[in-house]
Structure 1
């Protein structure tokens, strides 16, 4: 079952919509799904639906609501891709993480205090790292996170497990950035990094030209096992 709910900001100054997919029985835990730069589009909703099929309450907050509520863009349509890049440039990531924190708080209330995880993609992968460092998420996963090299100063505050999926031929994350991620995080007791040789940004998207079936399945299997272990 899916629905759209309204979540209050942490400071009570506003509210934002979130797509929610609920499992058929009582949820085993909840997972916040953090959007790419394309909004809470069909691909992100499908991520939520699949998590609900696995028994989780899944919720995807509309993080671009201050810029344009309800935005949905297709990465395979060039004008929409360019519009998404423009939105990313205007987006306040610190406010976005606070909205993720508000969503985690909402999810804890919905699940009577069960564990809450988070998973993000692209910009959402970067926000997943920030979520692991700044919130009480019990377990967090980031796919093709951008710009993590300039967030490494926050790694000491990561207290709960974090997994990052890194495509080695990511057009938005160059080799030097990937190297910095490994050098900065490989020895962190709470962080696990997985490389995907030859893969580009967006390889685990649900729909469209970017998806690589084999590597998407491999990454999603690792994510599923990670959440099964840490959100139990």
Structure 2
């Protein structure tokens, strides 16, 4: 079952929408699905639906609501892609993390275990890392996170497990940045990094030209095992 729900901001003076997919029966734990720069589009909703199919309460907050509510863009459409880049440039990431925190607080009472995880893609991968460092989320996964080189110092604030999937040929994350990520984060026992040789940004998207079936299946299986262990 899926529906659009309203979530109050942490300050309580406003609200934003989120796509919620619920499992059949009781949800032991929940996972916040953090959007790419393309909004809560069909691919992100499919991520939620798939998580609900295996028993999680899955929710994707509309993080661009302060700019343009209800953004749904196609990454394979060039004008859409340029619109997405423009939105990313205007997006307040600190406010986005507060909205993710509000989403975590919203769904935690809806679970029997009280545990909430988060998984993010692209911009959402970066926000997943920030969520791990700045909220009480129980376990977090980031796919092809962008721009982590200026956030690596925040790893000291991460208190729960984090997994990052890195595309070795990522057009938005150069080899130097990837090397820095390994240099700093490999030393932290709470953090696991996986490299996907020959893969470009977006290899685990649900739809479109960017998807690589083999790499996506491997990454998603690792994510499933990670959440099964840490959200049980």
TM-score normalised by structure 2 residue count: 0.99
1:69 aligns with 2:97: no
Tell me the alpha carbon deviations over residues 66-113 of structure 1, each in whole angstroms, 9 at most, x when there is no partner: 000001000000000000000000000000000000000001122255
Kept after mapping to 1: 8 A contact 2:27/2:110: no
CA-CA distance at 1:28 after TM superposition: 2.2
Who is 1:149 aligned against?
149
Who is 2:192 aligned against?
192
Kept after mapping to 1: 8 A contact 2:40/2:72: yes
Tell me the alpha carbon deviations over residues 156-214 of structure 1, each in whole angstroms, 9 at most, x when there is no partner: 00000000000000000000000000001001010000000000000000000000000
Who is 1:22 aligned against?
22
Which deviates further from its counterpart, 192-201 or 102-111? 102-111
Distance in 1 (alpha carbons) for counterparts of 2:124 and 2:48: 14
Tell me the alpha carbon deviations over residues 124-175 of structure 1, each in whole angstroms, 9 at most, x when there is no partner: 0000000000000000000000001110111100000000000000000000
Moved over 4 A (4+): none
1:42 aligns with 2:50: no
Distance in 2 (alpha carbons) for counterparts of 1:231 and 1:13: 31
Who is 2:230 aligned against?
230
Distance in 2 (alpha carbons) for counterparts of 1:74 and 1:28: 33
Distance in 2 (alpha carbons) for counterparts of 1:219 and 1:206: 13
- 1:171 partner SS: coil
Distance in 2 (alpha carbons) for counterparts of 1:54 and 1:160: 22
Distance in 1 (alpha carbons) for counterparts of 2:181 and 2:197: 16
Who is 2:115 aligned against?
115
CA-CA distance at 1:121 after TM superposition: 0.1
TM-score normalised by structure 1 residue count: 0.99
Tell me the alpha carbon deviations over residues 15-52 of structure 1, each in whole angstroms, 9 at most, x when there is no partner: 00000000011012100000000000000000000000
Who is 1:136 aligned against?
136
Distance in 1 (alpha carbons) for counterparts of 2:112 and 2:105: 11
CA-atom RMSD in angstroms: 0.6
Distance in 2 (alpha carbons) for counterparts of 1:38 and 1:142: 16
Distance in 2 (alpha carbons) for counterparts of 1:152 and 1:3: 36
Kept after mapping to 1: 8 A contact 2:29/2:112: no
